A and B are shown apart, each in its own frame.
Chain A
Amino acid sequence: MPRIDLPAATGLWCVLGYLGLAGLAVAAGRSRVATSLIYGGALAVALVALGAALTCFLTSGPPWTLVLPIGLPGIGAWFRVDALSAFFLVVVNLGAAVTSLYALGYGRHEEAPARVLPFYAAFLAGMNLVVFADDAFTFLLAWEFMSLTSWAIVLARHRDPANSCAAFIYLVMAGFGTLCLLMGFGLLAGPASGYAFDTIRFASHTPFAATLAVLLALLGAGSKAGLVPLHVWLPLAHPAAPSHVSALLSGVMTKVGIYGFIRIALDIAGPPNPWLGLLVLTLGGITAATGVLHALMQHDLKRLLAYHTVENIGIIFIGLGLTLAFRAGGKNVLAALALTAALFHVFNHLVYKSLLFFGAGAVLTATGERDMERLGGLIHRMPQTALAFLIGCTAISALPPLNGFVSEWLTFQAILVSPELPQWGLKLTVPAVGVLLAFSAVLAAACFVKAFGVTFLGRPRSPAAIAAGEVDTLSLTAMFLLAAICFLAGVLPGFIIDALSPVTVMLTGGMMPHQATMPWMSIVPIAENRSSYNGLIILTFLIVCGTVVAMMIHRFATRATRRSAIWDCGFPLDAPQTQYGSASFAMPIRRVFGAVVFDVHETVGDMPQPGEIRAGSFRLRVLDPVWRLAYWPIARAVAAVSSRLNRMQSQQIPIYVTQYVTLLLCTLIVLLVAVAIWR
């Protein structure tokens, strides 16, 4: 058995490296080289960590563990690298490496680098630590560290009131998430009488406690990942940060949330309950569909991408829900298929979402605009960014032959074998979730036709879009690197599926068929006569057919081409506002689904009479109904209670004391009654 001691230990040293960089950033402060120094250092550390993580991931050795005498006295901090954490270490450090490369170019435009740099390096350290942690205490500490450092970066441009509001909501939701995780770990660690995951794993939990713990993990990790209805902070906070950090938040930190859920639900909480699978699956489907519908309604490019992250998280949770359901039903191989689909999607989403956020950052640098209604025609002014962004759009829309399609296809395959599940509730629910998945896949395509079409195609809608220019080489390198991964993972998915098999063996006890032995390098989820897909052949076909067609056309057709003005049915309008924009593109879908999914407020202001030539006014607001249904009532209740309590405080002292004592007595009685019932 090969050992992974050295690479795993290197990975842990890299965390120290990131922390050192954070300290250096504080010391370097406002010096002019600080930006290059910190991002360059982060790139170097991330590359080392990525190499170490890849070695651990590709070597199927026994897990590596380490107990350090830091943290709580007498308990220490436990660390461990197994197949699952190795995979997530690859995800985290790949994201960190490309983001640092991009930031070497992009970060130069930062107004106040001292507000970003220290937290950036510390944030990377925090995410690594969460994945390394092997006891509940270290896990929670690292989790909270990750939340707080990312919160600080969201708040980097604190003078904008929208940003500070987003950061506040993020902080509240992060606190709620950690509270849920804390209680979940409490339920698990109590009977096990130990914080270490190993102790929890081998302790016997009552089914009730285990289910409740997984539910709490779903709330805690789900709020970090952006599961509906806990997603509200995500579309606010992700776009508020600088673009490269948005890429980290969307592409990497949500994945750490997923890791937390997998670790608790599939690893340490014991055998799963099938109805939990049903719940996770349904929530995933709802998350996917609502996420993409709301993404379509956005006109801020970065917020669109952030909402779209919610959709992808939904797809991943569909895969995880299927894994829970199949594993509870004893179908280990099918559980392995569903888990592979989910993990593959984790990787894919990291790659293309980072690429797209980098693209959005490039547009922001070049034009100073995030509002798509003020962009357009950038393909002529930023041709390379446009190409990279287009590849990202194609990949995220799950179109063959790129990588997004492969993981969605695997998820569909897992859905199609659901009739083998024993429970009727699951049998009938899974096709419905499949319908939601198909629906969100098409809407994702619509969403990115809109994102690319309105931003990069058409005519420029503002002077800033006319004056735009291409961004620096380092940013472009990072983008094209990710675009290349989109292609590679799309045409050679078999290698990734094979590499994931130790994870599936560890968590489900089953594995997918070995893909490297399949003829022509096609991928086969279950059996060859059931379904197979070959991205490589599709790509070859595409190239061959495209070439043949082009040759035939050039051989038999005339090559005469003339440039002229736009035809537009003989009545072209000069104003660029007459093009279809972001809101008009989304209008049919808003009309069709408006009554169910959105809170749409349309107000017609001043409307000119027919024949009159002057501007009319029309105001459209699309809101997330979750705010109305859940969060505002809670906020109102909190406000009402606190104002009551406030009044109590300002009364005369004798009454005040009486009330206080009464309250104390009441609480005591309630507590005593509770204890009496408990005993």
Chain B
Amino acid sequence: MALIVDLFMQSVQMALVVAVAPAVVGVTRKVKARLLRRIGAPVLQPYRDLWKLMHKEAVLAHNASWVYQSAPYVVFAITWIAAALVPTYATGLLFSWSADLIAIVALLGSARFTLALASMDVGTAFGGLGASREMMIASLVEPTMLLIVFTVAMVAGTTQLSAAATVFSSGSEGLPVSLAIAFLFVAIAENARIPIDNPATHLELTMVHEAMVLEYSGRHLALIEAASALKLVLYFSLIVCLFAPFGIAGSAGGLSEYTIGIGAYLVKLFVLATLLPVGETCVAKLRVFRYPLFAGGAFAAAVLVVFLLFVSKGP
């Protein structure tokens, strides 16, 4: 019986992240449009886009192989698993311990690897360009990510996100603010947002993520769009779980705790989805070879955190 309840709670999270992801993207687009004094598409437009894409025929290049056709499914499935393992509304879900923070980052790496391969499959210049830049960006931000993991392990004594969220939500320990800055920079770079990449652009030589998926259409494109929305939600969930875990339900909570947890989670997502476009409107996109500067800023903040932690913890 307990196993069935646990399984149910885990499935609730899996359904929740998928269901809410397009709405989060819708909110960011709406806020962005309002900030630019446009009316903007309705918040629910991403759902309609996905539905429309699913009912369009998929156009494949003559030389597209099985890698190209299966990649959207694999990318979506991996992102979904990763999102299911991050604590969102409750800690201690059934499978939350099967991967720690490092494994979740590595799962996202698997998704990136698959998509990069798929983009090289039909043999276009744009596909290779996107893949090569995506891998460069990843190599610039991943060292920062390791330092973030290192800090979490030092402060909370665990890399298990569920356990870390429990520690942080008790209020006795917390992560430094400059780590949040470093993490935000990483999240921006990983999600292909301004100033690293522009999700609204096409046919521009600076695009990265969009260049990789340029050849996709129909149901395949729908899956890739859904996966990138899911990835945004995943990073929001990570921010929430590490830096603002209040309201999160414990492992043995009742129905009311879970309801509060879901409510708090949705509110937090909404706040982050509103703040992201505000930041994006304030800055311009960087040139490709200015990325190291951006990543270097994040890295410096993370190094500072680790160093100060060592000093403050003493010998």
Contacts and interface: CB of A to CB of B under 8 A. Distances in A.
A449 B56 contact: no
Given A532-B160, A557-B55, A565-B61, A453 B98 contact: no
B99 A453 contact: no
Interface string A437-451: 111011101101110
B271 to A, nearest CB: 29
Contact of A380 (B65, B100, B109, B157): B65
Given A445-B109, A445-B138, A565-B61, A457 B310 contact: no
B62 A530 contact: no
A538 to B, nearest CB: 6
Q: Identify whether the interface residues of A are mostly helix, strand, loop, or mixed.
A: helix
A219 to B, nearest CB: 29
Contact of A400 (B97, B110, B131): B110
Contacts of B132: 446, 450, 580, 584-589
A415 B131 CA distance: 30
Contacts of A400: 99, 103, 106-107, 110
Contacts of A560: 57-58, 218
B139 A565 contact: no
Interface in A534-591: 534, 537-538, 541-542, 545-546, 549-550, 553, 556-558, 560-569, 572-573, 576, 578-581, 584-589, 591
B9 interface: no
B21 interface: no
Contact of A558 (B56, B223, B292): B56
B270 interface: no
Given A419-B154, A457-B67, A562-B58, A449 B103 contact: no
Interface in A375-414: 376-377, 379-380, 390, 394, 397-400, 405, 409, 412-413
B160 A376 contact: no
A268 interface: no
Contacts of A435: 143, 146-147
Interface in A587-630: 587-589, 591-592
A416 interface: yes
Contact of B67 (A379, A409, A568, A589): A379
Interface in B85-130: 95, 97-100, 102-103, 106-107, 109-110, 112-113, 116-117, 120-129
Interface stretch (A156-164, A224-232, A424-432): A424-432
Contacts of A573: 125
Size bracket of the B interface: 35 or more
B110 A442 contact: no
Nearest to A415: B150
A526 to B, nearest CB: 10
Given A409-B106, A537-B98, A431 B158 contact: no
Interface band, chain A: 35 or more
A442 B140 CA distance: 9
Interface stretch (B23-31, B38-46, B69-77, B232-240): B69-77
Contact of A579 (B125, B136, B315): B125
Nearest to B76: A549
Contacts of A445: 109, 112-113, 135, 138
Contacts of B292: 592
A553 B135 contact: no
Contacts of A576: 123
A585 B73 contact: no
Contacts of A428: 307, 310
B312 interface: no
B301 interface: no
B222 interface: yes
Interface string B145-158: 11101100110011
A533 interface: yes
Contact of B62 (A520, A564, A585, A592): A564
Interface in A314-370: none
A579 B215 CA distance: 14
A230 to B, nearest CB: 26
Contacts of A537: 95, 98
Contacts of A557: 54-55, 218-219, 222
Contact of B126 (A436, A457, A563, A569): A569
Contact of B78 (A416, A443, A542, A588): A542
A453 B131 contact: yes
B181 interface: no
A528 interface: yes
A255 interface: no
Given A449-B116, A558-B57, A572-B124, A545 B77 contact: yes
A533 B100 contact: yes
A457 B121 contact: yes
A254 to B, nearest CB: 25
Contacts of A530: 157-160, 163
Nearest to A554: B219
A442 B109 contact: yes
B104 to A, nearest CB: 9
A443 B203 contact: no
B67 A531 contact: no
A532 B142 contact: no
A439 B143 contact: yes
A232 to B, nearest CB: 24
A465 to B, nearest CB: 12
B120 A449 contact: yes
Contact of A541 (B95, B128, B135, B214): B95
Given A405-B106, A564-B60, A564-B62, A533 B146 contact: no
Contact of B128 (A561, A563, A584): A584
Interface in B162-218: 163, 203, 214-215, 218
A458 B99 CA distance: 34
B62 A565 contact: yes
B153 to A, nearest CB: 4
Contacts of B59: 561-564, 567
Given A445-B113, A446-B138, A549-B223, A561 B60 contact: yes
Given A565-B62, A568-B125, A546 B77 contact: yes
B117 A449 contact: yes
A572 B76 CA distance: 28
A487 B138 CA distance: 25
B133 interface: yes
B159 A545 contact: no
B264 interface: no
Contacts of A398: 106, 109
A397 B103 CA distance: 13
Nearest to B226: A549
A557 B145 CA distance: 37
A566 B122 contact: yes
B60 A380 contact: no
Nearest to B139: A442
A576 B313 CA distance: 58
Contacts of A376: 123
Nearest to B202: A569
Interface in A455-482: 457-459
Given A379-B67, A560-B57, A560-B58, A431 B150 contact: yes
A661 B109 CA distance: 69
- Would you list the 10 A-B pairs with minimal beta carbon distance, nearest first? A580-B128, A458-B123, A446-B135, A453-B120, A560-B57, A557-B54, A438-B146, A459-B123, A534-B98, A545-B77
29 contacts: A379-B66, A399-B109, A400-B107, A417-B153, A419-B154, A434-B147, A446-B136, A522-B98, A528-B97, A533-B99, A534-B97, A542-B81, A549-B80, A553-B223, A558-B55, A558-B218, A560-B58, A561-B57, A561-B60, A562-B59, A562-B60, A564-B62, A565-B61, A566-B215, A580-B129, A588-B136, A588-B289, A589-B135, A592-B289
Given A405-B103, A546-B73, A588-B288, 7 more contacts: A457-B120, A530-B163, A550-B73, A557-B222, A558-B54, A566-B123, A580-B120
